[in-house]
Structure 1
Amino acid sequence: MQIDHSSGYPYYAQLVAGIKQDIAHGVLGSGEQLPSVRAMARRHLLNPNTVSKAYKQLEAQHVIQTVPGKGTYVNVSDSTVLRQEVHEKLAQIVKLAYQSGVSITELHGWLDQMGEPV
């Protein structure tokens, strides 16, 4: 996972997206412990409050779980939760595209142009 310090995208949001992506691609497994807030902040040159905000958002989304005195862990689950989230967001995009006059064929073309994310 990389944090782009030159991006206008908020650091906490990049961290949330990166952790979700690592889980979806099997880099982080169910039950695996995440680095502490301070360790993650050092690793990515972030303020600990930024990491804490990302962890809290991931906890609210039931992606991770913090066990007091023990650490923060990836929730034991399969990728269906993340896949459902992608499906819901895609449905919103398709609806917005339809309302904007963008065809499904054009959306397919855009997806093909994007290719696989790095």
Structure 2
Amino acid sequence: MQIDHVSGQPYYAQLVEGVKQDVEHGILQVDDQLPSVREMARQHLLNPNTVSKAYKQLEAQQVIRTVPGKGTYVNAFNPTSVRTELQKRLQQIVSQAQQAGISFNEMRGWLDQMEGTTL
């Protein structure tokens, strides 16, 4: 996982996405231990508060869990929470599209074009 220090995206958001992608791609496995907040901050040249914020978001999304006194671990894949998260993100995209004047029919056309292709 890399943090782009020149990107406009907040560091904590990059860290959240990076951990989620590492889980999705099998780089991080269920029950793998993540570095401590301080160690992750040191590895990526970040403020520990930034890493803590990312870990809190990942916990809220049930991607990771913290065991007091033991560490932070990758959770088992939970299809329900993934489905819920994707539904929220899709709702945000639809809202943005509507604000930009894009119709549902146009979005359906995009989905039809994507069906069967790998992104």
Equivalent residue, structure 2, for 1:28: 28
- How many residue pairs get aligned? The number is 114
Structure 1 length-normalised TM: 0.78
Structure 1 residue ranges, 4+ long, deviating more than 4 angstroms after superposition: 105-108
Distance 1:79 1:20, change over 3 A: farther
Distance 1:13 1:95, change over 3 A: closer
One-letter amino acid matched to 2:9:
Y
One-letter amino acid matched to 1:46:
L
Structure 2 length-normalised TM: 0.77
Equivalent residue, structure 2, for 1:97: 97
Distance 1:90 1:75, change over 3 A: same
More divergent stretch after superposition (67-76 vs 78-87)? 78-87
Equivalent residue, structure 1, for 2:64: 64
Give how far 1:88 is off: 3.3
Give me the CA root mean square deviation: 2.7
Structure 1 gap ranges (5+): none
More divergent stretch after superposition (63-72 vs 79-88)? 79-88
Equivalent residue, structure 2, for 1:13: 13
Distance 1:99 1:8, change over 3 A: closer
Equivalent residue, structure 1, for 2:41: 41
**Tell me, what secondary structure is at the counterpart of 1:21?**
helix
Residues in 1 aligned to 2:61 and 2:108: alpha-carbon distance in whole angstroms: 32
Distance 1:57 1:88, change over 3 A: closer
Structure 2 gap ranges (5+): none
Residues in 1 aligned to 2:5 and 2:70: alpha-carbon distance in whole angstroms: 30
State, as a whole percentage, how many aligned pairs show the same letter. 63
Distance 1:92 1:48, change over 3 A: closer
Give how far 1:82 is off: 2.8
Give how far 1:55 is off: 0.7
Residues in 2 aligned to 1:80 and 1:3: alpha-carbon distance in whole angstroms: 29
